[in-house]
Structure 1
Amino acid sequence: MWRLSRIRHKAGRAGYSLEELRVKRREHEKALRQARRDRQLVSRRLLLNEDEGQQEAIRHTCSDENDVVSLFHNLQHSSPEREAHLKTLSKSLRDLSAQLIFIKQENSIHVLVGLLTGPNTRCRLQSVCCFHELSHSPHPSVTTACLPATPYLLTYLSGQSTRFTELCLYTLGNLCPDSDIVREKLLAQGIIPALACCIENQRHNMAVMEAAGFTLSQLLQAKDASEKIIPLVLASSLPSHLLAVLTPDQNFALAPAIECAWCLHYLTCSGEDNRALLACGALLQCSMLLVSLGGAVAQGNKAEGVELLVCPLLRCVGNLLSCTADVPDACLSDVGLTVALCALLQAYVQTRPSLARESAWVLNNLTARSCLFCSALITLNLVPNLIQLLPFSQGINTMILRVLANVAHKKEFCIQLAEFGLLSSLCATLKMAEQAVVTLSLDILFMLFASGSQVVEDFVREGGISLLETFQYYSEEDVRRKAVYLLEEHVLSSSSQCTVSCIPSS
């Protein structure tokens, strides 16, 4: 039987070196990473002010250094125009040169912090807008300069204003990815419990949930997340809150679900033991949403951006399935997940082959230890759909062959697999150039042949003898050995027995 495989985002798994895993990840996720960049779902996020609507951001309000200095001096003096000055400054700070000029002014950050914590609510909002613009800076010194504001940004996460809370969350999320110093400070200041409390208080506000998911995902992508951040997250109420967003009901919202699903993905691929996530129902919840999305996709309803949710859900389910031998039947009894995975596989095989491959990977993990789901592929007539996808490359055919091998391992299904036309398809895959495809095809043939002579006879009628004979001079020893064994021990011996039985006795 094919062993369950853990997703390749985990260093040190399946015999790969860290560098090999990085290369595979870059190769396999290129399309999805581009989609996420286009929609600003990773890296820093910049929110436009409400009064800007959909207009392009104003980047060069200040024309030179004197303008920035003048604005800063105006902020130091209390006046009715202070709010307007802050508003102008926040727009000016979208320019990198203006950011660097501003942070070099003596006490500039402390003046801004003072306005952030002052009694004037409108000035507080405009101050956090300024910090939000600074947090979006690509320059590391600007990010570090914002550190004095982080304790207050965390405190304000429990506020009542959605706009203010969103700005605080996105600012914190922008600050944490690239600076170890900032990340250490935020952890020490209690960003994990602050996020948990924020989500608890505003769990029905989808805009805040999206922002909180973004901030948490930024933290979870840190290189030291497995040691310093993930244990804190798993010990908090955050996993349950993340899962609550992934409910396919009338309140379902795509954007926050995407952010929360990516957070769960980073959690599931972080370590060997996912018992905490399994205990709070992560496998069941993610599977239910996949079933819902698979059904919608099968009916032709592909909402824009839905693939960005499907991808992390697939990885969550696949990784959780690989945790323990008892997971599939114990946590999942709805074979609808099998249907959904096949639907996603077919829907994305042409447009997003990486997603199709991941769907097949999850199907492999689902069928590897569960007779229930292997049986579902047979009884729901899904095998022909899988067989039709064997000509597709990019790892899709390899993973589908693994799934078919899981089914063939259950001896009672072998005759039905042959009746579905698998033998003729295997004759085609044996001619492919990929060694992994050829090896898997030979392994499946071995399982099919072991089920009875009828399958062997059908294979011979498909021209199987000449096909196996071509491998006698194959360069790869393992492939050659398997092919010769099948030819001599099954095909030729079965043919000779048939010949003997047909000779009349004298």
Structure 2
Amino acid sequence: MFSLGSVSGFEPASPGIAGARNWRRSCYRPRRGCSVESLRAWRREHESALRSARRQEQLISKRLLRDDTLTDEEQIGTDSEATALFSEQEVSQLLINIQKGTEDRAVSLNRLRRGLQHKETQQQFIRLEGSMRVLIGLFTSSLADLQMEAARCLHELSHSSDPDVVSACLPATSYLLTYLSGHSIALTELCLYTLGNLAVEIKAVKKQLLPQGIIPVLASCIQSPHVVVQEGVGYVLSQLLQSKEAPAEIIPLVLESTLSQDMLRLICSNLEEGIGAAVEFAWGLHYIICSQVNNALLISQRTVPSLVKLLLELASMIAATSVEGLELLICPVVRCVANLLAEGDGCELLVEEECFLKALFVFMQYFLPKHVFVVQECLWLINNLTADNTIFCCALLRTDCFPFLLKLLCSQMVSFLVLTVLCNIAAKGAACCQALHQKAVLPALISLLALPDVQVVSQDLELLHLLFHHWPEAATDFVAQSGLQALEQYQDNLQLQEQAKALIQTASQLAAFP
């Protein structure tokens, strides 16, 4: 494991003025020529597409709180009931029993809740006249046991994929919001996840939840000292912030409140008890940043230094911590930092460059190969750090982590990102290319030419072009190490032949006249 060294006494680092600039194509086609500006435009389009695709990886989903509310005896006693489908007559009779107020009212409501685990029963229930009015009436009653069971019924309905079933729940939204201020933690948690499920529906967001003041209510609810409530708030926010309406209708309200600052606070604190809440809020913050509604505000709130400090702390404790699921937190936090660094002005890491790079390499080494997505996120951030920043390029070359970076070239899932980082370094000029050559990158680059992945090979050729252009000695060694023979296979490849032919010509000329 790499040593982090001291993380105290940080000196302000240069701002990371970088986008996700994966493509640095200079004009290596000597016969046909090319427009530098057109290449830049193409690169910007390509980067935008990549970033857009990454934003869509975390999809909206619904969650269901169910068996954790039952004792073992209750689960055993009702397993057969839970799997049985009710007829329309049975559902109607259960509703009659619930309305009569007899002694078995709670039992009938419990049976109904179990029946509502099936979509057929859900559809039968909402078709019965007055069914939702009865259920909402019990939900708002003063009898705690009936209220909780009715809330569970609403929660089952909110989890449905049937738009008609979900729409039937909308009259309950104002009451769900009201009970977020109640004294029952269990009821508050259930109401939050029910609201989070309903928030998936666009109509619910536009016509119900926003006008009823869900954002101010969540801003108040997030102050709860209870971790389960905090996590529930994070879930609702995550659902809301992913909607298509979020940039125009939701995120401005969130930024006007104290929510973004509270989210940042909870991401960075109490991880042993609140790792789930931290993960939810980190994804929520990621969606806000991707919207680009007002990232300047987030930067002014010291979001980047706070998240960087958290990453340094996690890296220093990761081998010894008992907290499970840290990779689920590291992923969105790293992504937040990477995307804010793409904003440029005003983003300061406030940490020594090598120290931060070593922290990222600690994550990559620790989570490879089990959680490759963490490695991908860290490399994306390193790409942003090195894209337009010579200081970070030099720091990466100096650090003892560099050999591990070269080893990652062998990993098919991350080799393209590693090559992108190396291209960032090579683009800085002769000194950096000389250092890369001295660190024996050529054998690895030549071996990559045997891969079937066109994208990886193209990026490999781009890196070789930069090396030869800035440090001709690399071309001589490339030829000596049978690099030309490795290139010849691509002379008839429609996608790669221009790059390959240009590189063969360049390498041959430089090797002939060292």
TM-score normalized by structure 1? 0.81
**Secondary structure of residue in 1 paired with 2:82:** coil
1:371 matched to 2:401? The reply is: no
Partner Cα distance (1:272, 1:399) in 2: 28
> Could you tell me which of 136, 139, 148 is aligned with 1:116?
139
- Aligned residue number for residue 359 of structure 1: 378
Partner Cα distance (2:68, 2:410) in 1: 51
Give yes or no for contact 2:116–2:156 (8 Å, CA) kept in 1.
yes
When residues 66 and 440 of structure 1 are mapped into structure 2, their CA distance, relative to the original with a 3 A threshold, is closer
- Aligned residue number for residue 77 of structure 1: 100
- Aligned residue number for residue 5 of structure 1: 20
Give yes or no for contact 2:476–2:510 (8 Å, CA) kept in 1.
no
1:350 matched to 2:369? The reply is: yes
- Aligned residue number for residue 497 of structure 1: none
Partner Cα distance (2:239, 2:421) in 1: 34
1:236 matched to 2:252? The reply is: no
**Cα offset for 1:479?**
0.3
1:197 matched to 2:212? The reply is: no
1:40-79 C-alpha deviation (Å, 9 max, x unpaired): x932323336333594875247743333222322332345
> What do you get for the CA RMSD once the two structures are aligned?
3.6
- Aligned residue number for residue 15 of structure 1: 45
> Could you tell me which of 89, 97, 104 is aligned with 1:66?
89
Partner Cα distance (1:79, 1:487) in 2: 90
Give yes or no for contact 2:158–2:197 (8 Å, CA) kept in 1.
yes
Partner Cα distance (1:461, 1:183) in 2: 66
Give yes or no for contact 1:6–1:322 (8 Å, CA) kept in 2.
no
Question: In structure 2, what residue type is equivalent to 1:46?
Answer: L
- Aligned residue number for residue 503 of structure 1: none
- Aligned residue number for residue 344 of structure 2: 324
**Secondary structure of residue in 2 paired with 1:323:** coil
- Aligned residue number for residue 411 of structure 2: 392
Aligned pairs (5 A) from 1:347-496 = 347-394=366-413, 396-411=414-429, 412-449=431-468, 452=471, 454-464=473-483, 475=494, 476=496, 478-480=498-500, 482-484=502-504, 486-487=506-507, 490-494=510-514
Partner Cα distance (1:22, 1:409) in 2: 22
1:70-116 C-alpha deviation (Å, 9 max, x unpaired): 23223323455544443333233223233223222222222222222
**Secondary structure of residue in 2 paired with 1:308:** helix
Partner Cα distance (1:244, 1:189) in 2: 26
Partner Cα distance (1:186, 1:6) in 2: 39
**Secondary structure of residue in 1 paired with 2:93:** helix
When residues 272 and 337 of structure 1 are mapped into structure 2, their CA distance, relative to the original with a 3 A threshold, is farther
Partner Cα distance (2:146, 2:390) in 1: 63
**Cα offset for 1:130?**
1.9
Give yes or no for contact 1:465–1:491 (8 Å, CA) kept in 2.
no
Partner Cα distance (1:134, 1:468) in 2: 61
Aligned pairs (5 A) from 1:212-361 = 212-247=233-268, 251-271=272-292, 274-297=295-318, 299=319, 304-324=324-344, 327=347, 329=348, 332-333=351-352, 335-361=354-380
**Cα offset for 1:118?**
2.6
Give yes or no for contact 2:484–2:504 (8 Å, CA) kept in 1.
no
**Cα offset for 1:185?**
1.2
> Could you tell me which of 148, 151, 165 is aligned with 1:125?
148
Give yes or no for contact 1:473–1:480 (8 Å, CA) kept in 2.
no
Partner Cα distance (1:24, 1:49) in 2: 35
When residues 44 and 14 of structure 1 are mapped into structure 2, their CA distance, relative to the original with a 3 A threshold, is farther
Give yes or no for contact 2:95–2:131 (8 Å, CA) kept in 1.
yes
Give yes or no for contact 1:409–1:447 (8 Å, CA) kept in 2.
yes
Partner Cα distance (1:121, 1:258) in 2: 32
Partner Cα distance (1:44, 1:250) in 2: 22
Partner Cα distance (2:166, 2:492) in 1: 63
Give yes or no for contact 1:246–1:252 (8 Å, CA) kept in 2.
no
**Secondary structure of residue in 2 paired with 1:76:** helix
Which deviates more from structure 2 when the two are superposed, residues 100-109 or residues 186-195?
Answer: 100-109
When residues 127 and 477 of structure 1 are mapped into structure 2, their CA distance, relative to the original with a 3 A threshold, is same
Q: Which runs of 5+ in 1 are unaligned?
A: 34-40, 495-506
**Cα offset for 1:349?**
4.3
**Secondary structure of residue in 2 paired with 1:253:** helix
Q: Which runs of 5+ in 2 are unaligned?
A: 1-16, 23-41
**Cα offset for 1:183?**
4.6
1:183-226 C-alpha deviation (Å, 9 max, x unpaired): 531111111111111112x0x21111111111111122223322
**Cα offset for 1:331?**
5.1
Question: In structure 2, what residue type is equivalent to 1:262?
Answer: W
Partner Cα distance (2:393, 2:417) in 1: 15
When residues 196 and 248 of structure 1 are mapped into structure 2, their CA distance, relative to the original with a 3 A threshold, is closer
1:164-190 C-alpha deviation (Å, 9 max, x unpaired): 100110111111213524553111111
**Cα offset for 1:466?**
5.4
Give yes or no for contact 1:296–1:302 (8 Å, CA) kept in 2.
no
Give yes or no for contact 1:246–1:285 (8 Å, CA) kept in 2.
no
Q: What number of residue pairs does the alignment pair up? A: 474
**Secondary structure of residue in 1 paired with 2:100:** coil
Give yes or no for contact 2:290–2:339 (8 Å, CA) kept in 1.
yes
**Cα offset for 1:315?**
2.1
- Aligned residue number for residue 47 of structure 1: 66
**Secondary structure of residue in 2 paired with 1:59:** helix
**Secondary structure of residue in 1 paired with 2:183:** coil
TM-score normalized by structure 2? 0.80
**Secondary structure of residue in 1 paired with 2:265:** helix
When residues 22 and 375 of structure 1 are mapped into structure 2, their CA distance, relative to the original with a 3 A threshold, is closer
Sequence identity percentage: 35
Partner Cα distance (2:157, 2:270) in 1: 38
Partner Cα distance (1:22, 1:265) in 2: 12
Aligned pairs (5 A) from 1:26-45 = 42-45=61-64
When residues 439 and 87 of structure 1 are mapped into structure 2, their CA distance, relative to the original with a 3 A threshold, is closer
Which deviates more from structure 2 when the two are superposed, residues 286-295 or residues 99-108?
Answer: 286-295
When residues 45 and 110 of structure 1 are mapped into structure 2, their CA distance, relative to the original with a 3 A threshold, is same
Give yes or no for contact 2:491–2:498 (8 Å, CA) kept in 1.
no
**Cα offset for 1:144?**
0.8
**Secondary structure of residue in 2 paired with 1:286:** helix
Question: In structure 2, what residue type is equivalent to 1:73?
Answer: I
- Aligned residue number for residue 501 of structure 1: none
Partner Cα distance (1:47, 1:183) in 2: 28
When residues 228 and 331 of structure 1 are mapped into structure 2, their CA distance, relative to the original with a 3 A threshold, is farther
- Aligned residue number for residue 185 of structure 1: 208
Give yes or no for contact 2:479–2:508 (8 Å, CA) kept in 1.
no
- Aligned residue number for residue 39 of structure 2: none
